[in-house]
Structures are given as C-alpha cells and as structure tokens.
Structure 1
Amino acid sequence: MNARSGIGRLLRKSWRRSAMILAVAIAVQCVIAAFPAGVSLAADTPATTAPATGAEPKPDAKAAILIDAASGQVLFGMNADEALPPASMAKMMTEYLILDSIANGKLKWEDMVTISEFSSVISTNKELSGIPKAKGDSYSVKDLFYAVTIYSDNGAAIALAEAISGTEENFTKMMNDTAVKFGLSKGVHFINTSGLDRVDLGKYAPASIPGETTFSASDAAMIAYHLLKDHKEILDYSKIVSKKFRATDKEPMINYNWMLEGNADNANFKKYVYTGLDGLKTGHTDNAGYCFTGTAERNGVRYISVIMGAKTRDASFNETKKLLDYGFNNFETKKVVNAQTTIDSLQTVPVKKGVGKSVSLVTAGDLSFIAKKGAKDEEFVRTTQAIDESKIVAPIKQGDVLGTLTVTYNNKSQTVNMVAAEDVKKASWWRLLFRGIGSFFSDLFDSIKNLF
C-alpha cells in the first residue's frame, strides 16, 4: 500500500464520520424544532391534548344552556330541563314585572317608595345581601331598581313588589302567572321576589304559596330572552359595575357580575372580564350553589348563557366563558331565505274566478338561523304548504297570504308566509261563462277520446 492510497483511505473514513455526525446533529435540530418555544423535553413532562375545535363544552355545574337571544334557538344544553333552585336569578322575573309597570304607567321612576317592616328586616340582615334601610325610609323607584340590578338587594325587590301589588305575595302570584304566559315549564314556581329559601323568610314566608322557588336552566334562559326582548333597557342597569345607593354612603354597591366588560380596568376583576358582556343576573344560596345568567353581544350577535349549581363563584364565571366562547367561535347567522323569493315547490297556486287562472307566490320576508359555521344548504329542510284552494278566490291583492314555507334545522323550525306576487282581478261573468263552456267541451272531448 503506497502513501497516497493510505491517505485517501483515511480521508474517506474521516468524511464518513463527519457526515454521520452532521446527520445526527440535523436530526436532533429537527426534533427540537418540532416543539414550541418554552416546552421542556424532560421525560417527566406530562403530555397535553388541545380540545378539538368546535367540541361542545362540558360545564362543571348541575345544569347549563346557551341560546340565541334574538330567536331563542338553543345552541347547547346540559340537564337544561331539570327544575333547580335558582337563587337570585329569580329576580329576572321581578325585574321584568317592574319594567312592565314602568312601561304601562303604573309606576314612575321618580315615585317614592316607603320601606315596610318586612323590607327593612330583610335589608338589615347581613346574610341576605341587602343595603340597610330603616322602616319608614323613602327611596325613589329608580334608586331601588339600581339596588336590585347592581347589588341583588332583596329588601329593595320586596319594596318595589309592595309598591306594585300591595304585598310581595300578590306580586309573586303575578310572577307565576307571567311564567305561564311565557310558556315556561311546569317546574317553574316562585314563592317570592328574591329567590331566597323559605327558611330565610321566617314569619314573612308566603302563607298561600307552598314549596320553594324552582326553575330549570332552560326556563332561566327564556325569562332572560323575554326580558331582553321586551325591556332591553335592563342592560343600562345590569352593566353598571358600581354605584352608590345613597350619596352619603361610604362605599358604592359593587356588582356581583364580575365578568362585565366595564371591569376591564379593575385589578380585582379583570381576569374574569368577557368582551361584550353586559348582563344579566348572578345568584347564590347554600341550596342553589352558584348560578349565573349571562349575556354578551359581539358583531351584532347576542347570546344568553345559564349556569346553575356551580361549586364556586369563579366556576360559574369560568363555565359561562366556555359557553359563550362555544357560541361565538362555532356559530354564525345564516340567511336561508330572502324576501321576495320564488320557491320551486310552491311557485304558483290556482285562483278561482280570476282573470288569471293562477298567481305566483314569493316569500314575505327573510328567514335566518344561527347555524354551525360551514353548515350546508341541504341541512336546512324546506317544506311548503298552500292554504285551502277553496279560499283562493279572486280578487287577490299583491301580498295576500296564500301559503307558508317552513325551514327546519337541527330540530328547530321557522316559518315565513308565501304571498301573492301580483294582483289578480275578478273575472267578469261573461269571461267566466265562456271559460265554463270551454271547460265543458274540453272535458267532453277528453271523455270521447278515452272511449277509443
């Protein structure tokens, strides 16, 4: 072996060793690069699995629901139909009836209300969430309503109920009647304005109304739905983060709803803040646990969430965030029908005694659903139905309702009217006579033809 070939063999071995080292180094760098910055590669680091996009939440509570505030459409529910103690969420019905009384003129915001013995006793009980108010004191309806909506003041709720109905018991009967009017479940039962348990009321517990206050998460959502639909001004009160009840009070009332967007600069609450959240009602008793009906609006879409029976106040807010995130991240408003649109399955209907023998139909208005993002058109099942033909008699005016279009998505149906697209004048007796003669001979000819 000469010196040149020996040197060549050494160089080849050296090159192969360097290539192997370089390959190993590149492989290690690729593995490291596969991990995000800050992730340890230690063997005892537990693996984490990100939740699947669009996965339904699993609230840590006894019951939960999420609905669209515009239509009442249910987007998520968990044990949503079980009647449970709602604590101060019962005040949503109290707020509804107070605002109704303002709207119909029975009360005025500036009216003064005198505090009764009952209201005073409940107000001065530190364990029952109240601002101390002495018997005989007077406060305006508006100030008492601030106390109800911001501080969940039980004594203020009693005082306003007495101003409207004479006694809290009479007012409570109105609450139960309104629940029936709303079409709520049979599990809905109010015994007072506040949601307090009977034991808390002592001798003031209602004699004519048995049991305890109960309703389901679904019922809570529908009370909130009606409250927002009929009295959206409730948000002007529920979004207030703090306010003094009396100018002379040392400290303001602090809203128990820590998720309010208005708390964004509050060092104590900003970790709970949810963008767009401006209501609606918290609640807590030992029997009910922590409850919260929340509502938030983003980009013109508003949702209502309900959590019942959470173990802590923090949990009620954290689970609410999960529900609302699920709504805003996974659903969108989808217009499935446009106004003045022809529907293939019901383009026309026959008209009796008209110049024209039929009339075209179009949809009377738009129809939209809150749908999963990316929902396909075939998921929206359309069915049409014309009215009884015997009732479609000229003259017909443009816009007359002659049928319906029903669209069903995820077991939720909505209906829009189908209306006449144009006028159809009544035919003269002369035209109808000749039309009848023509029909007679046409039928006769068809009968003769069928003989052969």
Structure 2
Amino acid sequence: MKKMSLLSLLIAFVISLMALPPQTFAAKQEEKTAKSTILIERDTGRVLAGENMEEQLPPASMTKIMTMLLIMEEIEAGKLRYDEKVRASEYAASMGGSQIFLEPGEEMTVKDLLKGVAVASGNDASVALAEKIAGTEDGFVQKMNEKARELGLTHTKFQNVTGLPAKDHYSTAKDMAMMARALLEHEEITEFTSIYEDYLRKDTDDPFWLVNTNKLVKFYPGVDGLKTGFTKEARYCLTATAKKDGMRVIAVVMGAETPKQRNNEVSQLLDYGFNQYTIKQLYKQDQTVAKLDMLKARNKDVPVVTSTPVSLLVKKGEKLGELSTEIVYKPELSLPLKAGEQVGVLEVKADGKHVSSTPLIMKEDVPKASYWLLIKRSFDDVVKFR
C-alpha cells in the first residue's frame, strides 16, 4: 500500500507540472540570475526595461565596445586604414585569455585585427590596435576614459583595453548600452560583429578559425552584434543589438551565472522590445534638414545634417499626435566651422509636447570668405538691386 501511495503521489506531481501554464513552467526553467540588465531603443536612447541598471560591475570583455568605438573613430577620421599593417609587440602578443595567438613581430591588417576583436574577442588584437593608435595601452586607456566622460558615462572607468580583471575597472548596464549606442553610429562595425565564423591567416599554412563568442548572432533573427564578456569575477555578460522592422534595440545583461541564462535573458529583453514597441523614423543619420548661409562664409548653402537618426518610439496600439519640428541654432556661430561640428539641434514635438532633441552638425567645412570674395559679393548685390 505504501508503494502504491508513493507512486500515486509521483504521478500526481508530474501531472501537476504538466498542468502549469506554459509561461509559469518556463519561468521556473529560466530563472533570472543576472545582476543587472537594460534594454534601450537605439535611435531615441529611451530605456524600455531593466533592473539594477546603474550598479557598478566589472564589464569583462564588453570593455572592447569602447575599444572598437575609438578604432572606428580613427578609421572614419582617415587616421587608420583597413588595409594598413600593424606589427604586434611583445606585450600585445603576451596577452592571456581570449586571443588570436599573435606572434611577436607578426604583421596583420587593421581589418583582420578588428575582426579578431569583434568576433573572437582577441585580447592580443585589442592591444595591438591600441598601441598602433596611442603608442601604448595606457595612452589608449586614457582616450577611453576621456571618451566615457564625453559621452556622459559617469559610472564607468577603464584600466585596460581588454576587460581582463583589474582593480577599479567597472561600468554599468546603462553605461554599456549608451556606449554601444555610440558605437552603432558607426554602423559599419556590424559588418564585423555579425560574422559568426571566418578565418584569419587564410593564405598561410596555419589558418586560424574564428567563431563568434556571441551565439545569438546565429540563433536570434536580427542580432548583428555586439560583445560578450566573461571572467570569474564578472560572470557571463553580453551587450547585444538586433534590428527588426526598422527598429534597433540594445540589450545588456551583466553577471549571469551561465551562458545559457545570459542568452535567455538577453533574448527575453529583445522579445519584449520588438513585441511592445514600434519606431517611426523621421530623418536618417546624415540627412540634410537645412542649408546654412552665413554672410562671411566662403561656401553658401552648406548642408546641415542630423548627427544620428531621428525617430519616434511608439508603444504598439498608441496613436501618434500631430508632429512638428523646429531647428534651434546656437546663438553665436563663428567662422570657420568644421565638418561634424554641432551648430544646433532639431526639436521634435508631438501635440506641442517636447519629444526629442537631436544635434545638428555641418556636412562639410565652412571656411571664412576672403576679403576679395566679400567685395565681389557686395558688388554683385549692388548690381543685382539696381
């Protein structure tokens, strides 16, 4: 009788589990373990979800988001070329952890090294590029911290370019998301971070197989970056971005106990964003919204463009109000102006209420007009109005 009673209890328990609502049972299977999470929409920077998002934690190799941001800035400024060769120093080649096994003195192109950073999280590749740009890792770290301050990341401090354990090296989920947002202004980076597998040293007797440490690139539709991280102290971390129906979101998970839990929590955040929100894009990045015509400028009608995409984030089912835009220029613009220099903001309102402010920048340089050009213009104006 006792045996039958135990068997009956076991059967009843199994049946009760089967009777649980699917989401309840799934929740038991996928218990959240991350210390900190956040989900933002890229264009607006709006926070859609998250927990403990401002807790300072070790970011591990997610540090390389800032490393890649500075590399992309150098490339887009023309200070670094993809086909340029970089020689690995003894120090760069000595990096432990994730690496592409650079040999001291080995030369590799910037493009292949960046691929090694983005796909394989190569510490040696990161240091080699940092030394190329700033001379030393310490010099590059100084640039990283300066950029963090420029972006307003008040809870971030770097001690190295790799994310290897170091005292006083920390960030937050919110800061990482904003860092990723800045990196994604250089959308070309996704050509590297979206690679699932590839090879380095293809034309040698010792090709090196790269496999992306971010498995969601292969297994979650729309994911094309950005960066994983793991150390014993940081546990499993991931900053991921995905694009669907014109909307790009960024999810950050820090301190998950296993890679599976990390990926599950990121996937849940991405699902929430795409299920609950939609985006209405008003202007693309670098789209002309006005022409600047300054009396003493050499060039007339110089395009003023958006520094980032201008979009409205809408909860699905909600209606948009009447939209209006206004350009507010800086009160005292003085020549010369440089390409990329901010000259004002584009204010967007819905039903008269402020929605967003987007910096407007110059499309090209605007030098001062020469003395003789100003005289000619004055003469032309006199002739014109005779």
Q: Same fold (TM over 0.5)?
A: yes
Q: 1:138 to 1:191 in 2, by over 3 A?
A: same
What secondary structure is seen at the aligned counterpart in 2 of 1:324? helix
What secondary structure is seen at the aligned counterpart in 2 of 1:244? strand
Counterpart position of 2:193: 238
- The whole-number CA distance in structure 2 between the counterparts of 1:322 and 1:285 is 23
Does structure 2 conserve the Cα–Cα contact (< 8 Å) formed by 1:408 and 1:414? no
What secondary structure is seen at the aligned counterpart in 1 of 2:216? coil
Q: Quick one: which of 243, 250, 270 aligns to 1:324?
A: 270
Counterpart position of 1:301: 247
Q: 1:42 to 1:62 in 2, by over 3 A?
A: closer
**Percent identical across equivalent pairs?**
38
Does structure 2 conserve the Cα–Cα contact (< 8 Å) formed by 1:407 and 1:415? no
Counterpart position of 2:138: 169
- Verify: 1:414 aligned to 2:356, yes or no: yes
**Structure with greater Cα Rg:** 1
- The whole-number CA distance in structure 1 between the counterparts of 2:325 and 2:132 is 51
Counterpart position of 1:94: 67
Does structure 1 conserve the Cα–Cα contact (< 8 Å) formed by 2:224 and 2:241? yes
- Verify: 1:66 aligned to 2:7, yes or no: no
Q: Quick one: which of 373, 380, 388 aligns to 2:316?
A: 373
Counterpart position of 2:225: 279
Counterpart position of 1:158: 127
Q: Quick one: which of 176, 180, 186 aligns to 2:149?
A: 180
| Cα RMSD (Å) | 3.4
- The whole-number CA distance in structure 1 between the counterparts of 2:94 and 2:169 is 20
Q: 1:119 to 1:304 in 2, by over 3 A?
A: same
The Cα of 1:45 is off from its aligned counterpart by 2.9
Q: 1:274 to 1:367 in 2, by over 3 A?
A: closer
- The whole-number CA distance in structure 2 between the counterparts of 1:367 and 1:115 is 41
Does structure 1 conserve the Cα–Cα contact (< 8 Å) formed by 2:348 and 2:355? no
- Verify: 1:45 aligned to 2:16, yes or no: yes
The Cα of 1:167 is off from its aligned counterpart by 0.2
What secondary structure is seen at the aligned counterpart in 2 of 1:275? coil
What secondary structure is seen at the aligned counterpart in 1 of 2:147? helix
Q: Quick one: which of 214, 226, 235 aligns to 1:257?
A: 214
Q: 1:234 to 1:80 in 2, by over 3 A?
A: same
- The whole-number CA distance in structure 2 between the counterparts of 1:43 and 1:101 is 60
Amino acid at match of 2:244: R
- The whole-number CA distance in structure 2 between the counterparts of 1:132 and 1:216 is 30
The Cα of 1:309 is off from its aligned counterpart by 0.4
- The whole-number CA distance in structure 1 between the counterparts of 2:325 and 2:145 is 38
- Verify: 1:117 aligned to 2:63, yes or no: no
Amino acid at match of 1:372: K
What secondary structure is seen at the aligned counterpart in 1 of 2:184? helix
Q: 1:59 to 1:370 in 2, by over 3 A?
A: farther
**1:388-427 correspondence runs (5 A):** 406-407=349-350, 413-415=355-357
Q: Quick one: which of 172, 184, 208 aligns to 1:216?
A: 172
Higher relative contact order (CA 8 A, sep 6+): 2
- The whole-number CA distance in structure 1 between the counterparts of 2:79 and 2:105 is 22
Does structure 2 conserve the Cα–Cα contact (< 8 Å) formed by 1:289 and 1:309? yes
Amino acid at match of 2:157: H
Does structure 2 conserve the Cα–Cα contact (< 8 Å) formed by 1:241 and 1:255? yes
- The whole-number CA distance in structure 1 between the counterparts of 2:139 and 2:55 is 27
- The whole-number CA distance in structure 1 between the counterparts of 2:311 and 2:121 is 36
Q: 1:153 to 1:406 in 2, by over 3 A?
A: same
* Runs (4+) off by over 4 Å: 40-43, 380-385, 403-409
- The whole-number CA distance in structure 2 between the counterparts of 1:95 and 1:370 is 27
The Cα of 1:43 is off from its aligned counterpart by 8.2
Normalising by structure 1, report the TM-score. Answer: 0.60
Does structure 2 conserve the Cα–Cα contact (< 8 Å) formed by 1:157 and 1:194? yes
Normalising by structure 2, report the TM-score. Answer: 0.70
Does structure 1 conserve the Cα–Cα contact (< 8 Å) formed by 2:246 and 2:279? no
Aligned residue-pair number: 300
Q: 1:243 to 1:412 in 2, by over 3 A?
A: farther
Q: Quick one: which of 307, 310, 317 aligns to 2:256?
A: 310
The Cα of 1:382 is off from its aligned counterpart by 9.8
Deviations 1:206-239 (A, max 9, x none): xxxxx4321110011001101111x100000001
- The whole-number CA distance in structure 2 between the counterparts of 1:321 and 1:244 is 28
- The whole-number CA distance in structure 2 between the counterparts of 1:249 and 1:71 is 45
Q: Which runs of 5+ in 1 are unaligned?
A: 1-39, 199-210, 264-272, 337-365, 388-400, 418-452
Does structure 1 conserve the Cα–Cα contact (< 8 Å) formed by 2:237 and 2:252? yes
Does structure 2 conserve the Cα–Cα contact (< 8 Å) formed by 1:197 and 1:212? no
The Cα of 1:49 is off from its aligned counterpart by 2.5
Amino acid at match of 2:162: S
